[in-house]
Amino acid sequence: KIGVFGAYRGQTMMNQLYGHPDAELVAVCDKYIPALKEVEKKAKEHGATVALYERFEDFIGHDMDAVVLANYATEHAVYAIKCLNTGKHVMSEVLPCETMAQAVELIEAVERTGLVYTYAENYCYMDRTFEMWRRYRNGDIGTALYGEGEYIHDCSSIWPQITYGERDHWRNRMHPFFYCTHSLGPLITMTGLQPVRVTGLRTPLLSQAREEGLDPGIAGIEMVQMENGALFKSIHGNLKREPSSVNYELYGTKGCMETQRFGEENLNVWREGEKACQGTLETYIPEKFVEKEMASREGGHGGSDFYATHFFVQKILGRPLGKWAIDVYQAVSMGICGILAYRSCL
């Protein structure tokens, strides 16, 4: 039995839970009444009974096993700890924590309670990144030496909408490195490597845009050294580009993998053979290799939202597919690279 905190972004997770063979949506909480009305309408369409709450304090007392956190991105760790302390498993939306202190508190809460915490970084489960994860773990390109992750999304046309016209909305107040796990996260899950050192740089601030209440147009860049010495470059922000860029490259000791840069669905995999600089190049559109039928039906960011939710449920149930869930250690590793890159930049 699962509850969702946050009825706007949380709609996506609710859609995965309606009709799920192993889970049931039982409660939703949001302070915004129209959002709850929309949940009520959708629940009726699915023949589901869902309790609706305006206050978190009332919601957390509902009879449920787990909570999906889809609230403000700056408040995930605070509410994750509250949920864990009341005996609820947690799946957190992006980001895991806002400060280093929260990172410590979150990990300690997971370890103390022994409950399941997973991180819904859906970019790790896109068809191409999930395939890169599978192939790297198969040893197809050897050991990682260098990687790049890029998430460029110009939100200026929808900025008033996604900030609700609030000048103090968290999106207007975040530092440029804050939203780093879309670009860095897939590289960490692919390789399983732990980051040990971060350097941060940023592009100039467009002050005029901020004065007009629009997207300030800043990009943050993290250069991250991993435990084996490999280097990953992560760039994310609101630079001018259409379509938006979700791009990844990973170089290993035996070859490399790259996605396409302008919306193409192909993945390129080059593998060196027995002779240096000679090998094979594969260019193909990856197919889903886990729960293909369910993931294709549920949709949501190309099925990646389904995977984040499904693997959370499977991990709670102790099933093998739970191995693909992103745990608290990887989640925090992804998130604090942005925090420390900001410190580096300052």
* 113-171 per-position pLDDT tens digit: 999 999 999 999 999 999 999 999 999 999 999 999 999 988 878 888 888 788 888 88
| Side-chain half-sphere exposure of 53, counting CA atoms within 13 A | 17
Count of beta carbons in the 10 Å neighbourhood of residue 64:
21
pLDDT of residue 208: 57
Single-letter amino acid code for the residue at 341? A
pLDDT of residue 200: 96
* 151-164 per-position pLDDT tens digit: 998 887 888 888 87
Specify the pTM. 0.93
DSSP conformation letters of 199-259: EEEEPPP-HHHHHTTS----EEEEEEEETTS-EEEEEEE--S-SS-EEEEEEEESSEEEEE
Tell me how far apart the alpha carbons of residues 305 and 334 are, in angstroms, rounded to a whole number.
18
Tell me how far apart the alpha carbons of residues 119 and 329 are, in angstroms, rounded to a whole number.
10
Three-state SS for 51?
A: strand
Averaged over 286-315, what is the pLDDT? 87
